[in-house]
Amino acid sequence: MATVAGAVATAAFRARSCASDVPALACAGMTPGTPAGLFRSAAALDPARPFITFYDDATGERVELSFASFENWVNKTANLIQDGLVAEPGQRISLLLPVHWQTLVWYLACWSAGVIAAPGLEPSAADHVITDPQSLAGSAGCTGERVMLSLRPLGLPSADPVPAGVLDYAIEVPGHGDRFTPIHPVPATAPALQIDGRTWTGAELVGIAERAATDAGLTQADRIMTSADLSGLVGLGEVLLGPLSAGAAIVLCRNPDPDRLAGRATMERITRTA
């Protein structure tokens, strides 16, 4: 989906260009709101509509989540951040996670709770770390909480013992509430995303999302198949921000098998690919 990637890069450049001159809200095209609010608006259009369909061709896994189901995961995870990790607004959470639907849950949960999602941030510089099993050993430098996502099919807990001091996401998150209200309201001007030392506010991300969706001509009828990297702004724009702004659906592929993609595109009624 080169048009969406180009639109995201252009929108990010516009945000950087005006960031030092005018308030962040103006940089975001005078768009009120936050990425979490953008998701809630998209979900309200039709909560039962499919939002994310996830494939892992290495395991054969296929998971489909409606907007309502995905929102439930986001709310539980935001409650885990606020009540379990006791994370304060403005703290940085390092996300050491691959292409996966649960990675998107963590982005939106961070933005709901008012903490900064920081993909790839060095653990020693983070307040808390969210990791998969492959990155767990490297996360030991964090002095805050460490949460491991097993990424097993059906959201199952880790099959192996989790080291002391590490929380197993699949065990911790079910006990948290299905509704979330932040203790401190999250302003649109609060920092929301940090990548390679550059920080974007929630309002800037909403502006990037809306311009990307408009420039690429995305609509609610689109179904976008992608395996884009989720640790960069362009990938986030393709996979999450742009589609949210349009209310589009996402088919996210991990370890994609090229021989399966054409048939999958037909079966899933794909309108765009990345």
Strands 272-273 and 223-226: parallel
pLDDT for 5 equals: 53
Range of the domain at 165: 2-217+239-255
pTM of the shown model: 0.88
Please say if the pLDDT value at position 74 is more than 60.
Answer: yes
Q: How confident is the model over 164-191, as pLDDT tens digits?
A: 999 999 999 999 999 999 999 999 999 9
Quickly list DSSP for 145-214.
-EEE----GGGPPPSSPPPTTEEEHHHHGGGS-SS---SS---TTSEEEEETTEEEEHHHHHHHHHHHHH
In a domain, 136, yes or no: yes
Count Cβ atoms within 10 A of the Cβ of residue 61 and give its class: 0-12 exposed, 13-18 middle, 19 or more buried. middle
pLDDT for 73 equals: 97
Nearest alpha-carbon partner for 41 in 247, 251, 253? 247
User: How many domains is the chain built from?
Assistant: 1
In a domain, 270, yes or no: no
In a domain, 268, yes or no: no
Tokens found for residue 184: 């401190």
Is the distance from CB of 247 to CB of 220 less than 8 angstroms? yes
Please say if the pLDDT value at position 2 is more than 50.
Answer: no
Tokens 């309200």 found at: 44
Q: Looking at the DSSP assignment, which residues form a beta bridge with residue 210? A: none
Please say if the pLDDT value at position 10 is more than 80.
Answer: no
Pick 27 or 225 by higher pLDDT.
225
Nearest alpha-carbon partner for 109 in 125, 122, 128? 128
Please say if the pLDDT value at position 29 is more than 80.
Answer: no
Q: 3-state DSSP helix/strand/coil percent for the chain, to nearest 5?
A: 45, 20, 35
Pick 1 or 59 by higher pLDDT.
59
Q: How confident is the model over 116-160, as pLDDT tens digits?
A: 999 999 999 999 999 999 999 999 999 999 999 999 998 899 999
In a domain, 129, yes or no: yes
Calpha distance 111→73 (Å, rounded): 14
Tokens found for residue 179: 């509704």
| CATH number of residue 18's parent domain | 3.40.50.12780
Strands 61-66 and 92-96: unpaired
In a domain, 30, yes or no: yes
Task: Indicate the average pLDDT of the chain.
Answer: 89
Is the distance from CB of 51 to CB of 82 less than 8 angstroms? no
Is the distance from CB of 157 to CB of 150 less than 8 angstroms? yes
In a domain, 142, yes or no: yes
When mean pLDDT is compared across 75-84, 155-164, 262-271, the lowest value belongs to 155-164
In a domain, 248, yes or no: yes
Pick 253 or 24 by higher pLDDT.
253
Pick 10 or 125 by higher pLDDT.
125
Q: How confident is the model over 220-257, as pLDDT tens digits?
A: 999 999 999 999 999 999 899 999 999 999 999 999 99
Q: Which long-range contacts (CB under 8 A, 24 or more apart) does 196-199 make?
A: 196/120, 198/16, 199/116
In a domain, 234, yes or no: no
Give percent above pLDDT 90 in the chain: 82
